[in-house]
Amino acid sequence: MSLENLLGNWSQYRKGHEEGGFHDYKHLWGMAIDLDICIGCNACATACYAENNLAVVGKERFEKGQAMHWLRLERYWDQNELDHPAQGASFLPMMCQQCDAATCEPVCPVAATYHTPDGLNAQVYNRCIGSRYCSNNCPYRNRYFNFYSYYEDSWPEPLNMQLNPDLTVRDKGVMEKCTFCVQRIRVAKDNAKMENRPVADGEAMTACAQACPTNAIVFGDYMDKDSQVAKLWKKHQVKLRLTKQNKENPELRGYRIFEELNVDPSVMYLERVREEV
Amino acid sequence: MSGKIDRRNFLKIMGLGGAGTALGGCDLPSTVTLEEGKEEVVSYLMPEEYVIPGVGVWYASTCAQCAAGCGIHGRVREGRVLKLEGNPDSSMNHGKICMMGQSGVQAHYNPDRIKTPMLREGGNLVAVSWEKAVGAIQEKLSAANGDQVAWFTGTLSGHQAALVSNHLEALGSRKHYIHEPINASVWQAVNKDMLGEAMPRLRLDKAQMILSFGADFLGTWISPVHFSGEYAKFRKQKRRGLLVTIEPKMSLTGANSDLWIPAIPGTEGVIALGIAHQLVKNHSKDMSSLPASVQGLINKYDAATTAKIAGIDEKRIQRIAELLVERSPSLVLAGAPVEGQAKGYASVAAVMLLNQLLGNIGQTIESQGSFPFNQLKAKTGGTSDLFSFVETAKNKQLSVVFFYGTNPKFTAPKAMEMDSALNDVPFKVAISMFMDETSMAADVVLPAASYLEDWGTHVAAYQPQQTAISMQQPLMEKLYAETRGFGDIVLDLLKVAKKDVYSAFADYYAYLKNAHAALPAEYKEAGMTDGDAWSAALQKGLVNVATGSMSLPVKPVSFGDPAPADSGGKFAYHFVPSARLGMWDGRHANLPWIQEAPDQITKVVWDSWAEIHPLTAQKLGIKNGSIINVESEHGTAKVQAVLIKAIHPDVIAIPMGQGHEEYGRYAKGRGANPLKLLNPVKEETTGELAMYATRVNASPTSQKEVVVRLGASDTQAGRRFVVTVPVEQYQRTEGA
């Protein structure tokens, strides 16, 4: 592709995903996270460690940025604060946004990271060769690389007995990331299939959403118009496949982080609210 | 069971005595049989028919990671418990648990569990059989004066509490020391005097405004998961609830406030009186029912006087008073920084007085109602028992002490001389899952089963709208054959101390099952057999309890001037041993998930640190990551400095939890223990340790470290990750 071609057709490239692509999803798992009632308590992140066999790396490796927290809780201070953060802190639960036009997917040389028919951005550990291109390309920094074999350090016996048999323990050289608890989705889908009925809202639930003490994280199927998550997206007039939301009421709180990059994230955040006293 | 036990005694043995409520349905002779207990003991270990390999089954139990008593469900697969989640039927936590609750599996599967009993022989603890360990204990018990035997525990409730009480009573001792470094003891004492009830029910969901003086109800105060759920309701009201926090160092609750005001610890009472002054003078709130001394204090603290002492702008005090009147009903709370002063009681009383003036009592502060089973109620404690234990031990009035669920050797300030007090106790028995500092000093160590392997009942001190007895059942077989459940250990002691009564129970399971059968008929569904009712209780994880309705009669409480008196001498800074949700008082320092989880405010992992305001740090020549010495009259802590604006410039804070000398591979030798630095100052009215009354100095060393934390940037650098909108906009779209 010549530079001339690229620049000449730039707007078309940017719109490419909005207009074309695979959209015939049966399920499209999404989230809505209300940052006004997220209290930053870390229950979600710890639940993620418990559910997903996340390795504990220790202080030295944490310092090098090698922590494996699929869901990390960011804390920001306001920039205009004077001597004190008078309006408290801003908390942000940040996990894989399961982008519909994920920038990590096309760069994988071995197709280890791919898009599932459920709209999930999946990582096939057996295929991964550890090029780390995907991680470089993730604007959210939500991909975590196994620089070491953690299974001995992280789970000395009998801690290994806690490991969730529904998913693997990843070995050295493999990229890993949040899966929206695909094993829990799997169980819900299988149960529904066995009983010959659709998956009910709330039946598939990520560990983080399950744990959240304030119910700030809502998880569900965007294609199920009656699901709580679909209703929230609709209520806040946030739509998929847009690089810029075109809300009737721009005061509604829903927004997606980095949607202007045309990655089409499946997580909608609701703005934090503060009252000036 | 022998026939000579009368009904009243029977109920007492079953932990159901005391309150004299109608227990008409209790079916004494037929339910208490040894055979039944024996028969059922093994049954739960046998796989049920519906257990399918590869399919997880969820069982209900109760979390024991703190004293809040949340209901849990544990996922069991192939005989292993894998994941814990909240019990959706529990009105305490509605299916949610916090990071500590999630980490319970790491306590259970911890590689540093104690696997066998140990006995001190020739100065060293050596592994012995249970027979030998128990033999040694019984030998000492029979040689000791009954009243020189004591229990030293953390919060206990349910039948475990009943058995410990009954054990002490059988020996003729009244010495039960209860210690929790993170507590609400002074607040409870004020409530007891002011409302007649130590632990009233708080309706955060009905409050239009919450003013919290350091009560970290989202993080570390009383029942954080319950309050977090209520907090969400508080924010989601038609008019979004307003949260204002006043505290020395930002807590998790402070971080979620609309307005966070840093305050010097010890000035909160004055600020509260300053607000009371505004309420009375400018908002015509009635203080005529208050004692003259309190009226005098309210008159004294006009805006100017308050502002001068507290260092808070006059207008701010007036504005808060205005808001409290405007946003009625409100809720005003006092936490550890307010309690932890020599005049802590007066300060908390001044804060609670605001609820009285604002008419919040009966609105957002309700009675819990009367709980029918006195013996099962939570036995809560704070820090005053540290003093009484040390004094009694030093007077050589303790010959045998049992320790469980507490680690005073770690949590007592150095100046209290806990080490030498422990040396003065000739025989110490530690019942513990881990070799913590106290267990290392014991003469006998009994390996406790984890709470996921054990039976029990729990009645948390704070009960939500639906009061309940929460059931604890084993979620899997014991990992180590030589460990024993706490209830079984106490029951075995009672089988010796009161053989005629307790030898009837094969084990604690049989005892609990019989105790459940002895509950009044209304606690079981009509037509159910005792066995079915027991299974139903285990399945649900709780037994709902009807409480008697009670009102909260407000009694005038007089208190002294809470203004801080001491100058601190050569020590310039106020010291805050802050509490973290996760690490708690240090009991969770041995859980790798907790160590690797970033502190909510500073985001630091795996270490201790001192929080210092950048202005103060500049004055002292301290940079972010500088290794500094924080020095009090009684000790020095060497820690890395973390510069943060979310702290009062006159305050230096080191979080509790690290600095273990023992306690397994994850905790040992990591960081510093701020509790060791504290001055042994007593709160004047309650005798609690004034934990926030110590002064320190800080000085840099030549060393510096990289602070290991999550996130490289403190701000969003202009990007829109977390967008904040004004409440007016929110009210237009989502409010009413």
The string of pLDDT tens digits covering residues B494-514 is: 999 998 889 889 999 999 999
Return the pLDDT at B41.
42
Domain presence at residue A16 = no
Closest residue, chain B, to A79 (C-alpha): B715
Contact by Cβ (8 Å): B664, B109: no
H/E stretch holding B293: helix B292-300
Return the pLDDT at A18.
53
List CB contacts (< 8 A) between A277 and chain B.
242, 244, 258-259, 319-320, 323
Shortest CA distance to B166 belongs to which of B575, B515, B688, B589?
Answer: B515
Domain presence at residue A9 = no
Minimum-distance CB partner of A37 among B235, B710, B732: B235
List CB contacts (< 8 A) between A215 and chain B.
229, 232
Please judge whether A274 and B258 are an interchain contact, meaning their C-beta atoms are less than 8 angstroms apart. yes
H/E stretch holding B131: helix B130-143
Lowest mean pLDDT among A88-92, B78-82, B728-732: B78-82
Residue from A37, A42, A77, A84 to probe the interface with B (highest B Cβ count within 10 Å)? A42
Query: If you ran DSSP here, which 8-state letter would residue B60 be given?
Result: E
A70–chain B nearest CA distance, Å: 12
Return the pLDDT at A24.
79
Domain presence at residue A137 = yes
From the centroid of its chain, how far is CA B295?
A: 34
Neighbouring residues of A152: CB distance < 8 A, sequence distance ≥ 6: none
> What's the CATH fold of domain B7-112+451-484+504-544?
Phosphorylase Kinase; domain 1 (3.30.200)
Using the predicted structure, report yes or no on whether residue A2 has a pLDDT greater than 90: no
Return the pLDDT at B627.
96
- The CA distance from B501 to B4, in Å, is 10
- What CATH class has B118-181+373-447? alpha beta
What domain range includes position A179?
25-79+87-270
Using the predicted structure, report yes or no on whether residue B256 has a pLDDT greater than 80: yes
Mean pLDDT of chain B: 91
Return the pLDDT at A1.
52
Distance separating the N- and C-terminal Cα atoms of chain B: 64
In the structure encoding, which two tokens stand for residue A165, read together? 């048999």
For chain B, the structural domain boundaries read: 7-112+451-484+504-544, 118-181+373-447, 185-366, 573-704
- The CA distance from B92 to B463, in Å, is 7
List CB contacts (< 8 A) between A253 and chain B.
725, 730, 733-734
Return the pLDDT at B435.
97
Using the predicted structure, report yes or no on whether residue B233 has a pLDDT greater than 80: yes
B166–chain A nearest CA distance, Å: 36
Shortest CA distance to B113 belongs to which of B340, B382, B452?
Answer: B452
Return the pLDDT at B27.
36
| pLDDT bracket for residue B564 (50, 70, 90) | confident
Q: B406 or B12: whose pLDDT is higher?
A: B406
| pLDDT bracket for residue B8 (50, 70, 90) | low
Return the pLDDT at A108.
93
What number of other Cβ atoms are within 10 A of residue B719's Cβ?
Answer: 12
Please judge whether B228 and A58 are an interchain contact, meaning their C-beta atoms are less than 8 angstroms apart. no
| pLDDT bracket for residue B524 (50, 70, 90) | confident
Strand B118-121 and strand B444-447: pairing? antiparallel
> What's the CATH fold of domain B185-366?
Dimethylsulfoxide Reductase; domain 2 (3.40.228)
A1–chain B nearest CA distance, Å: 32
B13–chain A nearest CA distance, Å: 38
- The CA distance from B336 to B507, in Å, is 40
- The CA distance from B1 to B530, in Å, is 18
List CB contacts (< 8 A) between A87 and chain B.
257-260, 724
Burial level of B654, CB count in 10 A (0-12/13-18/19+)?
buried
Reported as a single tens digit per residue, the pLDDT across A226-242 is 999 999 999 999 999 89
Using the predicted structure, report yes or no on whether residue B707 has a pLDDT greater than 60: yes
Please judge whether B242 and A46 are an interchain contact, meaning their C-beta atoms are less than 8 angstroms apart. no
In the structure encoding, which two tokens stand for residue B357, read together? 């003036």
What number of other Cβ atoms are within 10 A of residue B170's Cβ?
Answer: 18
- The CA distance from B62 to B540, in Å, is 11
Reported as a single tens digit per residue, the pLDDT across B155-186 is 999 999 999 999 999 999 999 999 999 999 99
Please judge whether B592 and A56 are an interchain contact, meaning their C-beta atoms are less than 8 angstroms apart. yes
- The CA distance from B195 to B193, in Å, is 6
B57–chain A nearest CA distance, Å: 13
Distances (CA, A) of B216 to B235, B251, B253, B406, B574: 16, 6, 5, 22, 19
Q: Tell me the DSSP string of A80-110.
A: T--SS-TT--EEEEE-----TT-TTSTT-TT
A98–chain B nearest CA distance, Å: 17
| pLDDT bracket for residue B57 (50, 70, 90) | confident
Distances (CA, A) of B550 to B195, B370, B459, B489, B547: 11, 7, 19, 37, 9
Token pair 């496949």: residue: A241
Reported as a single tens digit per residue, the pLDDT across A187-230 is 999 999 999 999 999 999 999 999 999 999 999 999 999 999 99
Return the pLDDT at B6.
66
Neighbouring residues of A242: CB distance < 8 A, sequence distance ≥ 6: A18, A259, A264
Please judge whether B721 and A74 are an interchain contact, meaning their C-beta atoms are less than 8 angstroms apart. yes
List CB contacts (< 8 A) between A46 and chain B.
99, 102-103, 593-594, 597
List CB contacts (< 8 A) between B77 and chain A.
165
B259-262: strand order across its sheet: B259-262, B242-247, B209-213, B330-334
> How much of chain B is helix, strand and coil, in % rounded to 5?
35, 20, 45
B603–chain A nearest CA distance, Å: 8
List CB contacts (< 8 A) between A92 and chain B.
721-722
List CB contacts (< 8 A) between B85 and chain A.
47, 210-211
Return the pLDDT at A12.
62
Reported as a single tens digit per residue, the pLDDT across B649-665 is 999 999 999 999 999 99
Cα torsion for B143, B146, B149, B151, to the nearest 10°? 140
The three state secondary structure string of B247-278 is ECECCHHHHCCCEEEECCCCCHHHHHHHHHHH
Minimum-distance CB partner of B109 among A35, A76, A159: A159
Please judge whether A63 and B110 are an interchain contact, meaning their C-beta atoms are less than 8 angstroms apart. no
Using the predicted structure, report yes or no on whether residue A152 has a pLDDT greater than 90: no
Domain presence at residue A276 = no
- The CA distance from B285 to A202, in Å, is 48
Return the pLDDT at B283.
94
Using the predicted structure, report yes or no on whether residue B197 has a pLDDT greater than 70: yes
| pLDDT bracket for residue B42 (50, 70, 90) | very low
Please judge whether A84 and B262 are an interchain contact, meaning their C-beta atoms are less than 8 angstroms apart. yes
Residue from B722, B728, B729, B731 to probe the interface with A (highest A Cβ count within 10 Å)? B722
| Portion of chain B with pLDDT greater than 90, in percent | 83
Closest residue, chain A, to B710 (C-alpha): A74
CATH architecture of B573-704: Beta Barrel (2.40)
Domain presence at residue A172 = yes
Domain presence at residue A12 = no
Please judge whether A86 and B260 are an interchain contact, meaning their C-beta atoms are less than 8 angstroms apart. yes
Query: If you ran DSSP here, which 8-state letter would residue B599 be given?
Result: P
B97–chain A nearest CA distance, Å: 6
- The CA distance from B606 to A44, in Å, is 19
Contact by Cβ (8 Å): B119, B126: yes
Using the predicted structure, report yes or no on whether residue B39 has a pLDDT greater than 90: no
B427-432: strand order across its sheet: B124-127, B118-121, B444-447, B427-432, B400-404, B149-153, B176-178
Please judge whether B240 and A161 are an interchain contact, meaning their C-beta atoms are less than 8 angstroms apart. no
Return the pLDDT at B48.
59
Q: Tell me the DSSP string of B619-649.
A: HHT--TTEEEEEEETTEEEEEEEEE-SSB-T
> How much of chain A is helix, strand and coil, in % rounded to 5?
25, 15, 60
Reported as a single tens digit per residue, the pLDDT across A61-118 is 999 999 999 999 999 998 766 789 999 999 999 999 999 989 999 999 999 998 998 9
From the centroid of its chain, how far is CA A221?
A: 14
Return the pLDDT at B7.
61
Q: What CATH number is attached to the domain comprising A222? A: 3.30.70.20
Please give the single-letter amino acid code of residue B448: A
Domain presence at residue A5 = no
Return the pLDDT at B22.
37
Half-sphere exposure of B552 (CA within 13 A, CB side): 25
